[in-house]
Structure 1
């Protein structure tokens, strides 16, 4: 092996390609006639002189090698394939898929449960609204003047005459106060002895 091959450079001084293929200078150098000396070619290009296969300074193993068969070029081998255990990966994917499906089912169940609860609450709200309207109607009916008089008589109240007034700034009384006169109604609680 000569210095050019060890250094990874061809005769022209170019770097060998990473893919292991030949450069254009190597193709032209090998196609050149056998009588052409590469040493002269490197001097002509201005590069320093390297030992070639015809030189006496080569090692004995390289002297016995013939020049007709070129030395095989070393190439960078691809890294060995990394074998990752597939069982944990498949298990992880299965856990994710099953967890996702169960999560979706749980979510749908909760949504349906809330929908039923909402329907029940809406029915209850409608009943309460009707009840409130009925109570408001009863209150309005009880506030009517005829009903107020009837309810007052049921409680044993009688109509009073003219009232007396007290003027606040000086405390003077206007009118004469006297108790109401009249018999309680027959339907009153007091009239029945209640």
Structure 2
């Protein structure tokens, strides 16, 4: 088994990475402050941000540093006097007061219930009207049947003969017929029933 060289202790590697992350975070804070206040630009170039590797500060564990990305290039150069741009925070989600929301929901439910009641009343009214029309149709059907029965009774030969006698009509002794093709008329005696 060959030794590939001295191995670094895992704790030392972790400490060195934490020091680099703290130094990077400190640099970014200093750069942000320099962008907001141009009078602190000298601190960035003096090397005041450098940390002594032997000096270690005990702090709470920090979240891992964000991966380093290339600096953004803007389409126009930044002027020193230009005010810094700050991100706006989103408004709070619970911007609507709770009593107003509850009142709105209750009023919406009340309107829905009143609407359902009105719809139900309208449907019931139509149902009553439909029942009345069905009753009216049944009575008219009965009247029609009674009139048909009366008409068929009046059409019988005995009733026709009695009605003719009341009107003063008499039976003819002979019946005259006409041939439609020739137009000739001829008489024939009436046959007795």
CA positional deviation for 1:145: 0.7
- In structure 1, the residue matched to 2:137 is 125
| 1:92 shift after superposition | 3.2
Choose which of 135, 150, 159 in structure 2 pairs with 1:138. Answer: 150
Residue matched to 1:160: 172
What are structure 1's unaligned runs of at least 5 residues?
A: 1-24, 31-37, 43-49, 52-56, 178-194
- In the TM superposition, 1:10-25 aligns within 5 A as none
- TM normalised by structure 2 equals 0.53
C-alpha RMSD of matched pairs (Å) = 4.0
Runs of 4+ displaced beyond 2 Å:
25-28, 60-63, 70-76, 78-83, 86-92
Question: CA 1:142/1:68 → structure 2, altered by over 3 Å: closer, same or farther?
Answer: same
Which residue of 29, 46, 55 maps to 2:14? 29
Cα distance in 2, alignment partners of residues 106 and 26 from structure 1: 77
| Number of matched pairs | 130
Distance (whole Å) between structure 1 residues aligned to residue 91 and residue 61 of structure 2: 22
Distance 1:26 1:83 in 2: 46
Per-residue CA deviations over 1:111-158 (Å, capped at 9, x if unaligned) read 211222122122212211111111011001001110010011112211
Map 1:1-194 onto structure 2 (within 5 A).
Answer: 29-30=14-15, 38=16, 58-59=47-48, 62=51, 66-70=55-59, 73=62, 81-86=92-97, 87-175=99-187
* Cα 1:122–1:60 shift into 2, 3 Å: closer
Greater helix content: 2
Gapped regions of structure 2 (runs ≥ 5): 1-9, 25-45, 67-88
Instruction: State the distance in 2 between where 1:100 and 1:139 align.
Output: 58
* Shift in Å, 1:176: 7.3
